[in-house]
Amino acid sequence: MATEAAHGGEEGGLVFHPMDQFIVKPLFGGEGVHWYTITNATLWMALTVLAIVALMVLGTSGRNRIPSRMQSVAEMAYGFIYKMVEDVAGKDAIRFFPYIFTLFMFIVTANLLGLVPTAFTVTSHFAATILLALSVFLTVTVLGFVLHGKQFLGLFWVSSAPLAVRPLLALIEVISYFVRPVSHSIRLAGNMMAGHAVIKVFAGFAAIAAVSPISIVAIAGMYGLELLVAFIQAYVFTILTCVYLKDALHPAH
Amino acid sequence: MATTTHEAAGHAADAAAAAPGMPQLDFSTWGNQIFWLIVTLVVIYLILSRVALPRVGSVLADRAGAIANDIAAAEDLKQKAKEAEAAYDKALADARVEAANIVAATKAEIQADLAEATARADAEISAKVAEGEKAIAEIRAGALEAAEVVAKDAAAEIVAAFGFTAAPDAIDSAVTEKLKG
């Protein structure tokens, strides 16, 4: 808030600072941001943990055969991801279900919490999404080599294609394989960042009396869209993780 | 708070200097975010894998088991109902047959009784007829006798009316002779 006022003071008139909401700052003051500093990002990660505990642990504490509302949401999330892992990655991928469920719950909860006004969106930062994507990438690659050894490289050697084009295809496959974590992470952070920035821009227009009704309606519309995006991006991230996992478990084309 | 805002503004300025308007590319905060994110993910993983997922899994399994049991029980009851229906049908058919048997037996019994009663009645009737005939014969015999007496009396009166007197024996014999005549 104070930051925006300072910016406004410099330039005056109609100013947009749609990116200020993404600034990571220490929560309790102090000298800069060290690795251990408790920042607004830390706060919202903690709130994400609390929200997940509330849903998955407190919500299911009744263990009811006929579920309460919270329990039925928790069960729905469980069933949704369980089925996704089973359908996309195969039955033998079920042992990775807790990891994938952790990823999904973290991303979807952080995305939705980011939509609370004045919230900090953890998943709008490349630092966070690159960590997530790299952990998936490294896990999948290591797992592929541990399970299949050299045969895992068969993933890049398209044996169903004519021999002449195989080297070319292998090159393309290798490139696409290493681009995976990049697209995987930038897709999520980019979507979250763009939606929040657009809402901020509309909010900036609301300062002009003549267009403020339009801008408020636009914010409401964008907000609905963002709710959808928050869920869809978590879904996309998770299902791609399952697809990559399937490559590691069954590298044959 | 003043220092905080100053700090934040300073960072924003740093970020702006590094890459205009993208706090995401302010690499000085990456270490912090990555550290806390790892902590967060480990905590979430431990909570989910130790507490939440086994619980939800057991609840789902329990429910699936309960539903399967209920379906099996329903199937069982359906089978029992079918059996009961078959037993009922059989009992009904048996009862029908028995009823028909009873009806036939009763009919035969009644027929026998009826025949017996008819025979008895016939015998009685013929006995009565014989008795009646005997009575009629007696009455007829009595009537002849009475007629003879009346005739003798009448003859004696008539004789008296003509002014004669006759011996009763003579009148009797004369009337008896005439009647035989």
Contact (CB, 8 A) for A120 and A130: no
Closest residue in chain A to residue B30, using alpha carbons only: A127
Does residue A87 lie in a domain region? yes
Does residue A134 lie in a domain region? yes
Does residue A191 lie in a domain region? yes
Number of domains in chain A: 1
Per-residue pLDDT at A159: 81
Q: Does A106 contact B47 at a Cβ distance shorter than 8 Å?
A: no
Chain A residues in contact with B3 by the CB 8 A cut-off are 29
Closest residue in chain B to residue A130, using alpha carbons only: B34
Mean per-residue pLDDT of chain B: 86
Q: With a cut of 90, say whether residue B161 has pLDDT above it.
A: no
pLDDT tens string, chain A, 253 residues long: the values are 444 444 444 444 567 788 888 888 888 877 778 888 899 999 999 999 999 999 999 999 988 888 999 999 999 999 999 999 999 999 999 999 999 999 999 999 999 999 998 899 999 999 999 999 999 999 999 999 999 988 888 888 888 888 888 889 999 999 999 999 999 999 999 999 999 999 988 888 888 888 889 999 999 999 999 999 999 999 999 999 999 999 899 887 5
Q: Which residue has the higher pLDDT, A180 or B9?
A: A180
Q: Does A24 contact B44 at a Cβ distance shorter than 8 Å?
A: no
- The residue among A11, A21, A24, A198 with the most chain B CBs within 10 A of its CB, best to mutate, is A24
Q: Does B52 contact A60 at a Cβ distance shorter than 8 Å?
A: yes
CA atoms within 13 A on the CB side of A214: 6
Per-residue pLDDT at A101: 96
Does residue A14 lie in a domain region? no
Separation in Å, CA A15 to CA A7, A10, A218? 8, 10, 18
Domain hosting residue A86, numbered range:
22-249
Alpha helices in chain B (DSSP H): 2-18, 30-47, 53-161, 168-180
In this complex, which of B23, B35, B48 lies closest to A19 when CB atoms are compared? Answer: B23
Q: Does B60 contact A75 at a Cβ distance shorter than 8 Å?
A: yes
**pLDDT > 70 fraction of chain B, expressed in percent and rounded:** 88
Does residue A175 lie in a domain region? yes
Does residue A227 lie in a domain region? yes
Q: Does A124 contact B24 at a Cβ distance shorter than 8 Å?
A: yes
Closest residue in chain A to residue B24, using alpha carbons only: A125
Contact (CB, 8 A) for B57 and A115: no
Per-residue pLDDT at B15: 42
Q: With a cut of 70, say whether residue B48 has pLDDT above it.
A: yes
Task: For residue range B104-153, list pLDDT tens digits in order.
Answer: 999 999 999 999 999 999 999 999 999 999 999 999 888 888 888 888 88
Report the alpha-carbon distance of residue A140 to residue B135 in Å, rounded. 135
Q: Which residue has the higher pLDDT, B148 or B15?
A: B148
Neighbours of A249 (CB within 10 A): 18
Does residue A2 lie in a domain region? no
Chain A residues in contact with B39 by the CB 8 A cut-off are 45
Q: Does B37 contact A124 at a Cβ distance shorter than 8 Å?
A: no
CB pairs under 8 A between A and B: 159
Chain A residues in contact with B7 by the CB 8 A cut-off are 25-26, 29-32
Does residue A13 lie in a domain region? no
In this complex, which of A52, A75, A127 lies closest to B29 when CB atoms are compared? Answer: A127
